[in-house]
Amino acid sequence: MAGYIFLGPEIGQKHDEIAALRNKLAAKGIFEETVFYAGETSALTMANAIQNRSLFTQCNLFIIKNADQIKKKDEVSLIASCMKELDAETMLVLVSDECKLDSGIDNSCPKENRKVFYEMFENQKSEWVNSFFRRGGYRIDSDGVDTILEMVENNTDALRRECSRLMLLLPKDGTISAEDIEQRLSHSRQESAFTLFSRIAAGDISRSVESLHTLLAAKEKPQSILAALASCFKKLRDYMSLAKNGEPNNFELKKIGIFSPKARSDYAMAMRRYNAATADSGMALTAEYDILTRSSGTALEVTLMDVYLLKLFALQSQ
Protein backbone atom coordinates (compact mmCIF):
# COMPACT_ATOMS: atom_id res chain seq x y z
CA MET A 1 0.00 0.00 0.00
CA ALA A 2 1.36 3.43 0.90
CA GLY A 3 2.85 5.60 3.61
CA TYR A 4 1.47 8.93 4.77
CA ILE A 5 2.70 11.83 6.89
CA PHE A 6 0.13 14.16 8.49
CA LEU A 7 1.60 17.16 10.31
CA GLY A 8 0.57 20.44 11.91
CA PRO A 9 -1.47 21.73 14.85
CA GLU A 10 -4.93 21.27 13.28
CA ILE A 11 -5.94 18.01 14.97
CA GLY A 12 -9.43 17.66 13.53
CA GLN A 13 -8.39 17.65 9.88
CA LYS A 14 -5.68 15.08 10.61
CA HIS A 15 -8.29 12.86 12.28
CA ASP A 16 -10.53 13.25 9.21
CA GLU A 17 -7.71 12.14 6.89
CA ILE A 18 -6.98 9.08 9.03
CA ALA A 19 -10.70 8.24 9.15
CA ALA A 20 -10.78 8.35 5.34
CA LEU A 21 -7.86 5.90 5.22
CA ARG A 22 -9.67 3.57 7.62
CA ASN A 23 -12.72 3.64 5.36
CA LYS A 24 -10.50 2.84 2.39
CA LEU A 25 -9.08 -0.19 4.17
CA ALA A 26 -12.49 -1.30 5.44
CA ALA A 27 -13.72 -1.41 1.85
CA LYS A 28 -11.06 -4.04 1.14
CA GLY A 29 -12.16 -6.26 4.02
CA ILE A 30 -10.98 -6.90 7.58
CA PHE A 31 -8.00 -4.82 8.73
CA GLU A 32 -6.01 -4.52 11.92
CA GLU A 33 -4.98 -1.16 13.40
CA THR A 34 -1.94 -0.63 15.63
CA VAL A 35 -1.05 2.70 17.25
CA PHE A 36 2.42 3.55 18.58
CA TYR A 37 3.67 6.65 20.40
CA ALA A 38 7.21 7.61 19.39
CA GLY A 39 9.28 8.24 22.49
CA GLU A 40 7.36 5.56 24.41
CA THR A 41 7.97 2.66 22.03
CA SER A 42 11.40 2.06 20.50
CA ALA A 43 11.87 2.52 16.77
CA LEU A 44 13.13 -1.08 16.58
CA THR A 45 9.92 -2.42 18.14
CA MET A 46 7.79 -0.34 15.77
CA ALA A 47 9.82 -1.38 12.72
CA ASN A 48 9.64 -5.08 13.66
CA ALA A 49 5.86 -4.88 14.04
CA ILE A 50 5.44 -3.11 10.69
CA GLN A 51 7.74 -5.45 8.80
CA ASN A 52 6.31 -8.60 10.42
CA ARG A 53 2.64 -7.68 10.10
CA SER A 54 -0.16 -10.04 11.14
CA LEU A 55 -0.83 -12.82 8.65
CA PHE A 56 -4.38 -13.25 9.93
CA THR A 57 -5.79 -10.01 8.50
CA GLN A 58 -6.05 -8.84 4.92
CA CYS A 59 -4.69 -5.35 5.65
CA ASN A 60 -2.76 -3.62 8.41
CA LEU A 61 -2.81 0.03 9.43
CA PHE A 62 0.07 1.29 11.58
CA ILE A 63 -0.09 4.79 13.09
CA ILE A 64 2.92 6.39 14.77
CA LYS A 65 1.95 9.45 16.82
CA ASN A 66 4.40 12.13 18.06
CA ALA A 67 6.57 11.19 15.09
CA ASP A 68 8.69 14.33 15.64
CA GLN A 69 10.28 12.41 18.55
CA ILE A 70 12.06 10.13 16.05
CA LYS A 71 15.38 11.98 15.86
CA LYS A 72 18.34 9.63 16.31
CA LYS A 73 20.07 8.61 13.10
CA ASP A 74 19.44 4.87 13.54
CA GLU A 75 15.77 5.46 14.47
CA VAL A 76 15.24 7.70 11.45
CA SER A 77 16.85 5.11 9.19
CA LEU A 78 14.62 2.31 10.53
CA ILE A 79 11.34 4.19 10.13
CA ALA A 80 12.34 5.62 6.74
CA SER A 81 13.10 2.08 5.52
CA CYS A 82 9.68 0.94 6.71
CA MET A 83 8.03 3.81 4.83
CA LYS A 84 9.90 2.96 1.60
CA GLU A 85 9.42 -0.82 1.79
CA LEU A 86 5.74 -1.24 2.72
CA ASP A 87 4.17 -4.37 1.27
CA ALA A 88 0.91 -4.38 -0.67
CA GLU A 89 -1.22 -5.00 2.42
CA THR A 90 0.31 -2.49 4.85
CA MET A 91 -0.40 1.21 5.39
CA LEU A 92 1.80 3.40 7.62
CA VAL A 93 0.79 6.85 8.89
CA LEU A 94 3.13 9.17 10.80
CA VAL A 95 1.42 11.94 12.79
CA SER A 96 2.83 15.00 14.57
CA ASP A 97 1.67 18.43 15.75
CA GLU A 98 4.94 19.80 14.40
CA CYS A 99 5.18 21.03 10.81
CA LYS A 100 8.17 18.92 9.76
CA LEU A 101 9.94 15.70 10.67
CA ASP A 102 13.56 14.67 10.23
CA SER A 103 14.36 15.08 6.53
CA GLY A 104 15.25 11.40 6.25
CA ILE A 105 11.68 10.47 7.18
CA ASP A 106 10.05 13.31 5.23
CA ASN A 107 11.89 12.31 2.05
CA SER A 108 10.87 8.65 2.41
CA CYS A 109 7.18 9.50 1.99
CA PRO A 110 5.58 10.15 -1.43
CA LYS A 111 5.20 13.92 -1.75
CA GLU A 112 1.48 13.69 -2.54
CA ASN A 113 0.91 11.77 0.73
CA ARG A 114 2.59 14.36 2.94
CA LYS A 115 0.22 17.03 4.28
CA VAL A 116 0.55 19.85 6.82
CA PHE A 117 -2.64 21.04 8.51
CA TYR A 118 -2.32 24.53 9.96
CA GLU A 119 -4.70 26.22 12.38
CA MET A 120 -7.60 28.06 10.79
CA PHE A 121 -7.59 31.85 10.63
CA GLU A 122 -9.97 33.64 13.01
CA ASN A 123 -12.57 34.37 10.29
CA GLN A 124 -12.42 30.74 9.15
CA LYS A 125 -13.07 29.47 12.69
CA SER A 126 -16.10 31.74 13.08
CA GLU A 127 -17.56 30.55 9.79
CA TRP A 128 -16.82 26.92 10.70
CA VAL A 129 -18.84 27.22 13.94
CA ASN A 130 -21.65 29.11 12.21
CA SER A 131 -21.89 26.50 9.46
CA PHE A 132 -21.82 23.63 11.96
CA PHE A 133 -24.85 25.02 13.82
CA ARG A 134 -26.69 25.94 10.61
CA ARG A 135 -26.34 22.38 9.29
CA GLY A 136 -27.91 21.16 12.54
CA GLY A 137 -30.84 23.55 12.18
CA TYR A 138 -29.72 26.01 14.90
CA ARG A 139 -29.25 29.78 14.92
CA ILE A 140 -26.39 31.30 16.90
CA ASP A 141 -25.44 34.96 17.27
CA SER A 142 -21.92 36.35 16.80
CA ASP A 143 -21.28 36.66 20.54
CA GLY A 144 -22.24 33.00 20.95
CA VAL A 145 -19.73 32.01 18.27
CA ASP A 146 -17.03 34.15 19.89
CA THR A 147 -17.72 32.57 23.29
CA ILE A 148 -17.29 29.07 21.86
CA LEU A 149 -14.00 30.07 20.24
CA GLU A 150 -12.83 31.59 23.51
CA MET A 151 -13.71 28.56 25.66
CA VAL A 152 -12.78 25.69 23.31
CA GLU A 153 -9.33 24.62 22.17
CA ASN A 154 -8.20 25.93 18.80
CA ASN A 155 -8.76 22.91 16.55
CA THR A 156 -11.71 21.52 14.64
CA ASP A 157 -11.67 18.22 16.56
CA ALA A 158 -12.35 20.00 19.87
CA LEU A 159 -14.81 22.40 18.21
CA ARG A 160 -16.76 19.55 16.61
CA ARG A 161 -16.92 17.65 19.92
CA GLU A 162 -18.08 20.63 21.98
CA CYS A 163 -20.53 21.95 19.37
CA SER A 164 -22.10 18.50 19.05
CA ARG A 165 -22.51 18.34 22.83
CA LEU A 166 -24.05 21.82 22.88
CA MET A 167 -26.61 20.89 20.24
CA LEU A 168 -27.82 18.08 22.49
CA LEU A 169 -28.43 20.59 25.29
CA LEU A 170 -29.81 23.62 23.44
CA PRO A 171 -33.30 24.10 21.95
CA LYS A 172 -33.68 24.82 18.23
CA ASP A 173 -36.27 27.57 18.71
CA GLY A 174 -34.73 31.00 19.15
CA THR A 175 -31.16 32.25 18.71
CA ILE A 176 -28.32 30.84 20.81
CA SER A 177 -26.56 33.56 22.82
CA ALA A 178 -23.21 33.88 24.59
CA GLU A 179 -24.97 33.32 27.93
CA ASP A 180 -26.49 30.05 26.66
CA ILE A 181 -23.08 28.84 25.51
CA GLU A 182 -21.25 29.77 28.69
CA GLN A 183 -23.85 28.18 30.94
CA ARG A 184 -23.80 24.85 29.07
CA LEU A 185 -20.06 24.67 28.49
CA SER A 186 -19.24 25.52 32.09
CA HIS A 187 -21.42 22.66 33.33
CA SER A 188 -20.68 20.01 30.72
CA ARG A 189 -17.18 20.45 29.35
CA GLN A 190 -14.18 18.34 30.16
CA GLU A 191 -10.86 19.66 31.38
CA SER A 192 -8.92 21.90 29.01
CA ALA A 193 -6.00 24.28 29.15
CA PHE A 194 -8.54 27.07 29.67
CA THR A 195 -10.05 25.47 32.78
CA LEU A 196 -6.46 25.04 33.97
CA PHE A 197 -5.84 28.77 33.50
CA SER A 198 -9.05 29.51 35.40
CA ARG A 199 -7.68 27.60 38.39
CA ILE A 200 -4.30 29.30 38.08
CA ALA A 201 -6.10 32.66 38.04
CA ALA A 202 -8.00 31.67 41.20
CA GLY A 203 -4.73 30.75 42.95
CA ASP A 204 -5.89 27.16 43.50
CA ILE A 205 -2.71 25.12 43.21
CA SER A 206 -4.17 21.72 44.16
CA ARG A 207 -6.96 21.89 41.55
CA SER A 208 -4.46 23.25 39.00
CA VAL A 209 -2.24 20.21 39.50
CA GLU A 210 -5.31 17.98 39.23
CA SER A 211 -6.35 19.66 35.95
CA LEU A 212 -2.85 19.40 34.52
CA HIS A 213 -2.53 15.70 35.32
CA THR A 214 -6.00 15.00 33.90
CA LEU A 215 -4.95 16.64 30.62
CA LEU A 216 -1.64 14.79 30.45
CA ALA A 217 -3.31 11.46 31.28
CA ALA A 218 -5.66 12.07 28.34
CA LYS A 219 -2.58 12.32 26.09
CA GLU A 220 -2.87 16.10 25.69
CA LYS A 221 0.52 17.26 24.45
CA PRO A 222 2.37 19.65 26.79
CA GLN A 223 3.03 21.94 23.83
CA SER A 224 -0.72 22.30 23.20
CA ILE A 225 -1.34 23.14 26.86
CA LEU A 226 1.51 25.65 26.89
CA ALA A 227 0.34 27.29 23.65
CA ALA A 228 -3.11 27.87 25.17
CA LEU A 229 -1.62 29.22 28.41
CA ALA A 230 0.67 31.53 26.43
CA SER A 231 -2.43 32.94 24.74
CA CYS A 232 -4.07 33.41 28.16
CA PHE A 233 -1.07 35.30 29.54
CA LYS A 234 -1.00 37.53 26.46
CA LYS A 235 -4.67 38.36 27.01
CA LEU A 236 -3.90 39.01 30.67
CA ARG A 237 -1.32 41.64 29.68
CA ASP A 238 -3.84 43.20 27.28
CA TYR A 239 -6.45 43.17 30.03
CA MET A 240 -4.01 44.89 32.39
CA SER A 241 -3.35 47.62 29.83
CA LEU A 242 -7.07 48.29 29.50
CA ALA A 243 -7.61 48.22 33.26
CA LYS A 244 -5.14 51.08 33.78
CA ASN A 245 -7.93 53.41 32.68
CA GLY A 246 -10.61 51.87 34.87
CA GLU A 247 -12.99 48.95 34.38
CA PRO A 248 -12.80 47.82 30.71
CA ASN A 249 -16.09 47.93 28.81
CA ASN A 250 -17.52 45.11 26.68
CA PHE A 251 -16.34 46.61 23.39
CA GLU A 252 -12.75 46.94 24.62
CA LEU A 253 -12.75 43.40 26.01
CA LYS A 254 -14.07 41.91 22.78
CA LYS A 255 -11.30 43.64 20.84
CA ILE A 256 -8.70 41.66 22.83
CA GLY A 257 -10.62 38.38 22.56
CA ILE A 258 -12.40 38.28 25.94
CA PHE A 259 -16.11 37.65 25.42
CA SER A 260 -17.74 35.66 28.21
CA PRO A 261 -18.45 36.83 31.79
CA LYS A 262 -16.53 33.79 33.10
CA ALA A 263 -13.43 34.80 31.13
CA ARG A 264 -13.70 38.38 32.38
CA SER A 265 -13.87 37.06 35.92
CA ASP A 266 -10.81 34.85 35.33
CA TYR A 267 -8.69 37.74 34.04
CA ALA A 268 -9.82 40.03 36.85
CA MET A 269 -8.78 37.36 39.38
CA ALA A 270 -5.48 36.76 37.58
CA MET A 271 -4.70 40.50 37.72
CA ARG A 272 -4.96 40.36 41.50
CA ARG A 273 -2.25 37.69 41.56
CA TYR A 274 0.05 38.89 38.77
CA ASN A 275 1.39 42.35 38.00
CA ALA A 276 2.75 43.42 34.62
CA ALA A 277 6.27 42.17 35.41
CA THR A 278 5.21 38.76 36.73
CA ALA A 279 2.73 38.31 33.86
CA ASP A 280 5.62 38.94 31.45
CA SER A 281 7.66 36.43 33.44
CA GLY A 282 4.80 33.95 33.06
CA MET A 283 4.90 34.39 29.29
CA ALA A 284 8.67 33.91 29.23
CA LEU A 285 8.41 30.86 31.49
CA THR A 286 5.78 29.34 29.20
CA ALA A 287 8.02 29.83 26.16
CA GLU A 288 10.98 28.31 28.05
CA TYR A 289 9.04 25.16 28.98
CA ASP A 290 7.69 24.81 25.48
CA ILE A 291 11.30 24.46 24.31
CA LEU A 292 12.19 22.13 27.21
CA THR A 293 9.26 19.76 26.66
CA ARG A 294 9.95 19.58 22.93
CA SER A 295 13.58 18.61 23.47
CA SER A 296 13.24 16.32 26.50
CA GLY A 297 11.15 13.43 25.17
CA THR A 298 7.98 12.03 26.71
CA ALA A 299 9.63 10.46 29.78
CA LEU A 300 10.18 13.84 31.47
CA GLU A 301 7.02 15.63 30.31
CA VAL A 302 5.01 15.22 33.53
CA THR A 303 7.94 16.27 35.74
CA LEU A 304 8.69 19.32 33.59
CA MET A 305 5.05 20.41 33.54
CA ASP A 306 4.80 20.03 37.32
CA VAL A 307 7.89 22.22 37.75
CA TYR A 308 6.46 24.75 35.29
CA LEU A 309 3.20 24.96 37.24
CA LEU A 310 4.98 25.42 40.56
CA LYS A 311 7.08 28.22 39.06
CA LEU A 312 3.92 29.93 37.76
CA PHE A 313 2.46 29.91 41.27
CA ALA A 314 5.76 31.16 42.71
CA LEU A 315 5.37 34.24 40.50
CA GLN A 316 2.06 35.01 42.20
CA SER A 317 3.85 35.66 45.48
CA GLN A 318 6.40 38.08 44.03
Tens-place pLDDT, residues 262-285 = 888 999 999 999 999 999 999 999
Let me know whether 269 and 197 are in one domain: yes
Q: Is the dihedral of CA 265, 122, 229, 167 positive or negative?
A: positive
Note the pLDDT of residue 187. 58
- Dump pLDDT digits (tens) for 192-239: 888 899 999 999 999 999 999 988 887 788 988 998 899 899 999 999
CA distance 178 to 167: 14
Let me know whether 30 and 144 are in one domain: no
Tell whether the model's pLDDT for residue 288 goes beyond 60: yes
Instruction: Provide mean pLDDT across the span 146-164.
Output: 83
Average pLDDT for the chain: 88
Of 189, 216, 236, at which residue does a domain stop? 189
Instruction: Provide mean pLDDT across the span 121-125.
Output: 78
Let me know whether 215 and 269 are in one domain: yes
Note the pLDDT of residue 189. 57
Let me know whether 246 and 208 are in one domain: yes
Let me know whether 146 and 106 are in one domain: no
> Helical H runs in the chain?
11-26, 43-51, 73-84, 103-106, 122-135, 142-151, 156-169, 178-188, 193-201, 205-217, 222-243, 250-255, 261-273, 276-296, 301-316
Instruction: Provide mean pLDDT across the span 303-308.
Output: 95
Let me know whether 205 and 313 are in one domain: yes
Note the pLDDT of residue 54. 59
Let me know whether 124 and 86 are in one domain: no
Whole-model pTM?
A: 0.61
Query: In this predicted model, which residue has the larger pLDDT, 188 or 235?
Result: 235
Measure Cα distances from 14 to 101, 126, 281 in Å: 16, 20, 34
Of 163, 189, 215, at which residue does a domain stop? 189
Let me know whether 159 and 128 are in one domain: yes
Kindly report the length of the chain: 318
Of 168, 189, 210, at which residue does a domain stop? 189
Note the pLDDT of residue 220. 81
Tell whether the model's pLDDT for residue 253 goes beyond 90: no
Query: In this predicted model, which residue has the larger pLDDT, 156 or 240?
Result: 240
Measure Cα distances from 56 to 30, 53, 60, 135, 315 in Å: 9, 9, 10, 42, 57
Instruction: Provide mean pLDDT across the span 13-21.
Output: 91
Residue 262 belongs to domain spanning: 191-318
CATH number of the domain encompassing residue 312: 1.20.272.10
The vertex-198 CA angle with 302 and 250, nearest 5°, equals 145
Q: In total, how many domains does the chain have?
A: 3
> Does residue 73 come out as left (phi exceeding 0), alpha (psi in the -120 to 50 range) or beta?
alpha
CATH number of the domain encompassing residue 62: 3.40.50.300
Asked if 22 and 168 count as a contact pair (C-beta separation under 8 A), the reply is no
